[in-house]
C-alpha cells in the first residue's frame, strides 16, 4: 500500500511538472501562524518554512493565533483550505496548545475524544480531496523546574497524534520530541533566545518588555522550521525532493547554521556628554567607559563615537551596548604601553598573562561594534619586525627610530623590555608559572590582541575598519552567535601574529562581506592548544563564511594549528584570496589532538599564491609557510609514533569549484604515518601551479574533474596512501610523468577518465612500493 501511494504521488508530480506548483498548506495555531510586522520579533515557524523549499513549491500558511482543532473548523477556516485543495497537495496539521484550554468551550477538545476525532476528520477529509496529510505533534513550551529540569506541559496530546498517525498510516513529524531535545540542550538560559524574552523600550508592541515561553523569536522560528524540514527528510516521502539544496555536498538549506542576532535599544549615549574631547591629546578612556557603563545600567543602548579624532586607552564593552563609531570618526588607541595593564587572558590557545586588549568584553551578552568609522590599535609600538620582510631602506629607517635588535641583528624590537621576552620560555603562560606579579620585566613583549571577546553571546561587528593591531586583530573566544558583516581589517603585511580573525571555540557564527589584509592568517579557526585545549574540549562549530576577500597573509581560510578542542561543521563559499601565502590552509601537529571534520568549501578564487593553493599539513612547525631569505623549511622525518590523545585528525572535507592562477603547489596533503588524513573530496578545480599534486599518508582521497596546469614535468606524487581516486584529471602540454607512487606500504590508486596521451610516461612505481593502479577512461 505504501509503495502504491508513493508511486501515485510521484506520478502526480510528473504530471504537474509544468507551470503548476506543488502546494503545501499549513494549518495550526500561533506557534505556526503568520505574524504582522507590528508583532516583531514574534515569528511563527510556518513563516520560515518556505525558505527551506526549492522553487516550484508554494507554501500557504493558514495557521491562526489561538486556534484549536475545534475552533479552526467551526470558524470555517478548514473549509476554505478544502475548497482549493487539489489532488497531490500536501497539508501539515499541528494543533494542541489551545485544545488544552478546558475553560474555553469554543476551543477545548479533550485528548482522547474530540481531539482524536478532529485529527481523524482532518486526515480523512484531506485524503478525500486527493491531498496528502502530515500530522505534527505540538511544539514544546519552554519550562524548567527549580532544579533546571525540563517540564513537559502537553500531557496526553502528543501521544494521541502519534496514535492517530499510526492508525491512519499518516506520515508523522514528532515536533514535540524534536523541540524538547533542542530546548533541553540549550538549557535554562540558552533556550530563552528561542522564545520571546524581550527587554523594555526595544519593540513598539512591547514597550514594557515581555517574557513569553510559548511563542518564538525570529531565531526560534527558524530553528523550529528546520526541525519540521528535518522531519520531512526523515520520512523520505516525495516532499524530500522539494527541499532546497545548497552548493555544499549533501546539505540542505535547513541544515546550515542559524545565528541569533544582536538587537539594541535606540537610546543613545554620546561620549561628548561625559567629557570626551576630540583634540588628539585628551585621553578619553574614562569618558568612553563611563558612557558604556551608564548605557548598560539603563538596560542598553547605543554609545556613540561621533565624527572626530578620539584618543583612548582600553575600552571594556558591557551587555546590551552597541559601540557605534561614526563614518568620519577615528578611534585611536594610545601608543603608550603603560596605558595597558597586565590581565589574565589567553594567548595562542593557552591561559596566559597579556597586556589588556584595546577593546575587550568578558561574559557579555548582546554587544556590538558598528558604524563605518576607523579603529587604530597603535600596533607599531608593540610588534617586532624581521629584517627579511623589509627593504634595506625600510629597515634602516626602522632601526633609526629607536628600539633594539636581537643578537643576530635580524629582528627589531620596540624596547629592551620587549626583547627580554624572547629569552624566556613560554613567557606569560600561566601553566609555566607566570602570574600578574612576575611578568613586568618583559611586559612589552606581551602585546595584546586588538579586540578580545571572551564567553560572550550574540555579538555583532559590522562596517568597522580595524587597523594596525598589536597582535591578533579580532579574537572571539568561547563566544556563541557571533556575526561579522562588512568588517575591514588592515595590518602591515610584515606583521607577525597579527591574524585578522581568530574564532576560537566559538559556536554558531556568520562571517560575510569582510575584507582582510594582514601579515599572518586571514580567517582562522581555532579551539585551544594541546592539553589545555583538549581539557577545555569545546570545538569551533557551525560557522558560515561567505563573500569575503583576503589580501596578503599566511593563509586565506585557515584551520589550526591550535585546534585541540576540535573543529566541525564549517561552510565556506564565494571568497577571494589574493596574494596570500596559502589559499586554503589546514594545519596541525603532533601533540595537538582534536578532530577537524565536516568542512565544506565551495567557489573560491585565488591568484598569486606563493605556496599551496590547497594545503593539508599535519607537520606544522610554526614557521612562515613560504621560506624567507636565509631560511629553509626542511621537511620532517616521516616516522610513525604511537597513537594517543595528542594525535590530531583531519577527515571529511568537501571542496569544490576552485580556481587558482599561480601557486607553487596545487594540492598538498600530508598526514602522519600513524594517522593519515582521511575522506577528502576535491571536485571541479583549475589550478595553475608549478607543482601539481603531492599526497602523503592519506586514505580515501577523491579528486574529480581537476585541472593541474603545471610547470614541472612530474604532475602528481602519491606516497604511502590508499584508496586514492583521480577522476578526470586534466593537464596541458606534454609532461614526462603523470603519476609517481612511492612509500613503504602498499597503495591503490584509481585513474579514471583521464587523457594520458600527452604524458611521456603514465605511472612510475618506486622500487620499494607495492601498488595497484586501476586505469579506466
What residues are labeled active site? 30, 208, 215
**Is residue 695 within 8 Å of residue 742, measured between CB atoms?**
no
Q: For residues 731 and 756, is the Cβ–Cβ distance under 8 A?
A: no
Does an H or E element contain 343, and which? strand 342-347
Q: Is 144 left (phi over 0), alpha (psi -120 to 50) or beta?
A: beta
Identify which of 587, 602, 692, 565 has the alpha carbon closest to the alpha carbon of residue 633: 587
**C-alpha cell belonging to residue 150:** 525540563
Cβ pair 26, 63 in contact under 8 A: yes
Question: What is the secondary structure of 200-216 as a DSSP string?
Answer: TTSBTTBTT-EEEEEEE
* DSSP three-state, residue 480: strand
Candidates 314, 333, 340, 332; CA nearest to 443 is 340
Contacts of 361 (CB under 8 A, 6+ apart): 316, 317, 318, 367, 452, 453, 454, 456
Measure CA 523 to chain center.
11
Cell of 626: 613560504
3-class secondary structure, 315: strand
Which residue intervals of 60-204 are DSSP H helices?
Answer: 71-74, 77-84, 116-128, 157-168, 175-190
| Beta strand 714-719 pairing with 759-765 | unpaired
Q: Is 53 helix (H, G, I), strand (E, B) or coil?
A: strand
Reading phi first (left if > 0) and then psi (alpha if -120 to 50, else beta), residue 122 is in: alpha
Alpha carbon distance 358, 339 (integer Å): 10
Query: Which among 262, 168, 729, 206 is positioned nearest to 482, based on CA atoms?
Result: 262
Give the three-class secondary structure for 324: strand
- Is there a contact between 728 and 752 (Cβ–Cβ < 8 Å)? yes
Q: How far apart are CA 624 and CA 271, in angstroms?
A: 42
SS3 content of the chain, % helix, strand, coil (to 5): 20, 40, 40
C-alpha to C-alpha distance for 492 and 283, rounded to whole angstroms: 25
> Which of helix, strand or coil describes residue 217?
coil
Give me the helices (H) in 357-391, please: none
Using CA atoms, how far residue 369 sits from 317, 345, 360, 460, in Å, is 9, 21, 11, 6
DSSP code of 730? B
Residue with cell 602519491: 718
Q: What CA–CA distance (Å, rounded) separates 523 from 110?
A: 56
Q: Give phi and psi for 593, each to the nearest 5.
A: 70, -165
- Give all strands (DSSP E) within 450-526, no chain letters: 451-454, 457-462, 465-467, 474-477, 480-485, 488-490, 501-504, 507-512, 515-518, 523-526
CA distance from start to end of the chain: 44
Report the distance separating Cα 678 and Cα 691, nearest Å.
22
In contact, 412 and 384? CB cutoff 8 Å: yes
C-beta of residue 579 within 8 angstroms of C-beta of residue 609: yes
Torsion of CA 54, 60, 64, 68, to 10 degrees: -90
Question: What are the backbone dihedrals phi and psi of residue 667, each rounded to the nearest 5 degrees, phi first?
Answer: -135, 125
Amino acid at each position: 500500500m505504501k509503495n502504491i501511494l508513493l508511486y501515485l504521488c510521484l506520478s502526480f508530480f510528473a504530471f504537474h511538472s509544468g507551470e503548476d506548483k506543488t502546494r503545501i498548506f499549513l494549518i495550526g495555531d500561533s506557534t505556526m501562524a503568520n505574524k504582522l510586522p507590528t508583532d516583531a520579533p514574534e515569528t511563527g515557524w510556518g513563516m520560515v518554512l518556505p525558505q527551506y523549499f526549492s522553487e516550484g513549491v508554494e507554501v500557504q500558511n493558514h495557521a491562526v493565533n489561538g486556534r484549536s482543532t475545534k475552533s479552526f473548523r467551526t470558524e470555517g477556516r478548514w473549509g476554505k483550505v478544502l475548497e482549493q485543495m487539489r489532488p497531490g497537495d500536501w497539508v501539515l496539521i499541528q494543533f494542541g496548545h489551545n485544545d488544552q484550554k478546558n475553560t474555553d468551550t469554543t476551543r477545548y477538545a479533550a485528548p482522547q475524544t474530540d481531539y482524536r476525532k478532529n485529527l481523524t476528520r482532518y486526515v480523512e477529509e484531506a485524503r478525500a480531496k486527493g491531498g496528502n496529510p502530515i500530522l505534527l505533534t505540538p511544539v514544546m513550551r519552554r519550562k524548567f523546574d527549580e532544579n533546571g529540569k525540563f517540564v513537559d506541559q502537553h500531557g496526553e496530546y502528543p501521544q494521541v497524534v502519534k496514535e492517530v498517525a499510526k492508525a491512519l498510516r499518516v506520515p508523522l513529524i514528532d515536533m514535540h520530541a524534536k523541540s524538547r531535545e533542542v530546548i533541553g540542550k540549550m538549557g535554562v538560559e540558552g533556550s530563552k533566545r528561542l522564545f520571546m524574552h524581550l527587554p523594555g523600550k526595544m519593540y513598539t508592541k512591547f514597550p514594557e518588555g515581555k517574557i513569553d515561553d510559548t511563542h518564538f523569536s525570529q531565531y526560534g522560528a527558524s530553528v523550529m522550521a528546520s526541525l519540521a524540514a528535518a522531519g520531512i527528510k526523515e520520512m523520505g516521502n516525495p516532499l524530500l525532493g522539494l527541499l532546497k539544496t545548497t552548493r555544499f555536498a549533501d546539505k540542505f538549506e535547513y541544515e546550515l547554521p542559524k545565528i541569533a542576532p544582536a538587537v539594541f535599544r535606540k537610546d543613545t549615549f554620546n561620549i561628548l556628554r561625559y567629557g570626551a574631547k576630540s583634540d588628539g591629546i585628551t585621553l578619553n578612556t574614562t569618558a568612553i567607559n563611563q558612557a558604556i557603563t551608564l548605557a548598560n545600567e539603563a538596560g542598553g543602548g547605543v554609545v556613540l563615537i561621533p565624527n572626530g579624532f578620539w584618543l583612548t586607552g582600553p575600552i571594556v564593552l558591557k551587555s546590551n551596548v552597541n559601540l557605534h563609531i561614526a563614518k568620519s570618526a577615528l578611534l585611536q588607541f594610545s601608543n603608550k604601553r603603560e596605558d595597558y595593564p597586565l590581565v589574565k587572558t589567553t594567548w595562542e590557545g593557552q591561559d596566559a598573562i597579556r597586556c589588556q586588549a584595546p577593546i575587550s568584553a568578558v561574559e557579555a551578552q548582546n554587544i556590538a561594534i558598528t558604524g563605518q568609522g576607523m579603529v587604530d590599535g597603535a600596533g607599531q609600538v608593540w610588534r617586532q619586525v624581521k629584517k627579511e620582510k623589509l627593504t634595506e631602506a625600510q629597515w634602516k629607517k626602522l632601526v633609526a627610530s629607536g628600539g633594539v635588535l636581537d643578537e643576530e641583528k635580524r629582528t627589531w624590537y620596540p624596547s629592551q623590555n620587549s626583547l627580554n621576552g624572547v629569552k624566556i620560555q613560554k613567557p606569560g603562560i600561566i601553566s609555566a608559572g607566570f602570574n600578574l606579579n612576575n611578568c613586568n620585566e618583559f611586559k612589552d613583549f606581551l602585546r595584546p590582541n586588538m579586540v578580545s571577546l571572551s564567553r560572550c553571546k550574540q555579538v555583532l561587528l559590522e562596517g568597522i575598519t580595524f587597523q594596525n593591531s598589536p597582535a591578533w586583530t579580532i579574537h572571539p573566544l568561547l563566544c556563541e552567535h557571533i556575526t561579522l558583516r562588512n568588517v575591514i581589517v588592515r595590518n602591515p603585511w610584515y606583521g607577525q601574529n597579527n591574524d585578522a580573525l581568530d574564532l576560537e571555540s566559538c559556536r554558531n557564527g556568520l562571517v560575510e562581506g569582510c575584507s582582510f589584509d594582514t601579515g599572518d592568517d586571514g580567517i582562522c579557526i581555532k579551539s585551544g592548544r594541546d592539553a589545555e585545549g583538549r581539557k577545555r574540549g569545546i570545538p569551533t562549530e557551525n560557522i558560515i563564511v561567505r563573500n569575503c576577500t583576503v589580501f596578503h597573509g599566511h593563509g586565506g581560510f585557515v584551520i589550526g594549528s591550535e585546534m585541540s578542542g576540535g573543529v566541525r561543521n564549517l561552510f565556506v563559499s564565494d571568497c577571494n584570496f589574493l596574494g596570500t601565502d596559502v589559499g586554503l590552509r589546514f594545519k596541525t601537529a603532533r601533540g595537538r589532538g582534536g578532530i577537524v571534520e565536516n568542512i565544506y568549501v565551495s567557489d573560491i578564487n585565488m591568484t598569486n599564491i606563493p605556496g599551496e593553493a590547497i594545503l593539508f599539513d599535519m607537520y606544522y612547525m610554526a614557521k612562515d609557510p613560504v621560506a624567507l631569505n636565509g631560511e629553509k623549511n626542511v621537511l620532517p622525518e616521516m616516522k610513525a609514533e604511537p597513537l594517543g590523545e595528542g594525535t590530531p585528525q583531519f577527515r571529511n572535507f568537501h571542496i569544490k569549484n576552485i580556481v587558482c592562477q599561480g601557486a607553487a603547489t596545487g594540492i598538498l596533503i600530508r598526514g602522519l604515518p600513524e594517522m593519515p588524513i582521511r575522506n577528502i573530496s576535491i571536485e571541479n578545480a583549475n589550478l595553475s601551479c608549478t607543482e601539481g599534486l603531492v599526497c602523503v599518508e592519506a586514505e580515501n582521497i577523491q579528486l574529480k574533474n581537476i585541472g593541474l596546469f603545471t610547470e614541472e614535468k612530474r604532475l602528481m606524487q602519491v606516497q604511502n596512501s590508499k584508496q586514492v581516486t583521480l577522476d578526470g584529471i586534466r593537464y596541458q602540454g606534454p609532461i614526462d610523468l603523470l603519476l609517481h607512487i612511492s612509500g613503504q606500504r602498499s597503495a591503490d590508486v584509481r585513474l579514471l577518465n583521464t587523457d594520458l596521451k600527452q604524458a611521456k610516461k603514465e605511472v612510475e612505481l618506486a622500487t620499494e612500493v607495492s601498488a595497484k593502479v586501476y586505469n579506466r577512461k
